[in-house]
Amino acid sequence: MTDQAVEDWNGEVGERWLKHLDPFESMISPVNAALMKAADFKPGESVVEVGFGGGKNAVEIAKATAPSGDYLGVDISEILVDHSRKRAAEAGVENASFLCADAGAAKLDAPRDRAFSSFGVMFFDNPEKAFANIRSWVKPGGDFVFSCWAVPDMNPWIGIVGAIAGEYVEMPERDPEGPGPFRMADPDATKALLEGAGWKDVKCTLWRGEQLVGGEGASPESAAGFVLEALAIGEPLEEEGGPELVEKARADIVKALKPFHKDGSIRMDAAAWIVTAKA
């Protein structure tokens, strides 16, 4: 993990995730439901989660594996670790523990039955090394179940708003091979990466569904606020043209989101891979 990536999730990016935790978790809830169904955790299993964020799945997995199973979460962001520890305690969970560490390098006390991640595996500085490290956490015969985004073209929720912002300022270019949400969008490359790291029987299953932009119940106005603040699209706009430019873009984003306001939420097509692999 580069210092920059550590700083991002252990700083500004992690803070933004925590500040907008409810809409983030609500937004990805349809794909998360499919991911949890694919994992189908059972009592007695020991599970390690990579990049647990605000700890929603931590609580669910700990409850599903109780009383004899256990949950360990590994996340690089100190504030997210603190938050999740409190959330698990408040939920009355007793079989969960949390480690603040880089999943690309951390060593565990003992191997687990299963590894899991919801959108937490696209940010490693050295993915080959990281996936081999996670492989070393899992007992022979165990598995790894995780989600990652499919290509941006299949995820208009990011493309449409990015394009509006791009009309006003040059948005920072993303390196598709570098750390970022769409880094593992190519299933052939993901399969090769995992096999190279020692995983077997790798399967990438495409999930297509709705993304609730800004979370359940968001209006075009509140979803535009979410896009500008939580997805950090407002920052380059503010830098370029101050609050006036942000307000101009906000009006355009509200207009673009209105046609997607159905049944009380902003519903846009989304696509992700649900990846399974055996140790």
Ligand X SMILES: C[S@@+](CC[C@H](N)C(=O)[O-])C[C@H]1O[C@@H](n2cnc3c(N)ncnc32)[C@H](O)[C@@H]1O
Cα–Cα dist 114/90, whole Å? 25
Among residues 41, 71, 98, 124, the one that binds ligand X under rule CB under 6 A: 124
Helix/strand/coil for 244: helix
What phi-psi label fits residue 29: left (phi over 0), alpha (psi between -120 and 50 degrees) or beta?
alpha
Give min distance, CB of 2 to ligand X, in A: 10
Site map for ligand X, 41-80, x if CB under 6 A?
Answer: ---------xxxxx-x-----------------xxxx--x
Question: Is the Cβ of residue 111 or residue 241 nearer to ligand X in the bound state?
Answer: 111
Cα–Cα separations (whole angstroms), residue 212 to 24, 233, 269: 9, 18, 9
- Find the binding residues for ligand X in span 22-41 (CB under 6 A): 25, 28
Among 30, 69, 73, 104, which residue sits at the site for ligand X (rule: CB under 6 A)?
104
CA distance 51 to 53: 6
Three-state DSSP at 245 gives: helix
Angle formed at CA 223 by CA 81 and CA 208, multiple of 5 degrees: 75
Nearer to ligand X, 69 or 104 (CB): 104
Which of 98, 119, 199, 226 touches ligand X by CB under 6 A?
Answer: 119
Least separation in angstroms between residue 126's CB and ligand X is 10
Enumerate binding residues for ligand X (CB under 6 A). Answer: 1, 9, 14, 17, 25, 28, 50-54, 56, 74-77, 80, 102-104, 118-120, 123-124
